[in-house]
Amino acid sequence: MQTINGGKVARQYGVPFLPTAFLMDDNEKIILRNPKKEELDAKLKELFGH
């Protein structure tokens, strides 16, 4: 992992290190940050129903 000093986007979304993964909605609201596979799978199933 690489720690970052923080550009504009990194500060806006609270990116502590790279790589960082986000699941965001249409309004750019963060739904999940650095989810584990199981968390992501469950959220996608909840959102899309499959």
Structure tokens at 4: 């970052």
pLDDT of residue 40: 95
What's the pLDDT tens digit per position in 1-50?
Answer: 555 566 787 788 778 777 888 999 999 899 999 999 999 999 999 999 97
**Contact (CB, 8 A) for 31 and 39:** no
Would the pTM of this model clear 0.75, i.e. be above it?
no
pLDDT of residue 1: 57
> What are the start-end ranges of the H helices in the chain?
8-13, 37-48
CB atoms within 10 A of CB 23: 15
Cα–Cα distance between 50 and 30 in angstroms, integer?
21
Does a cis peptide bond (omega within 30 degrees of 0) precede residue 19?
yes
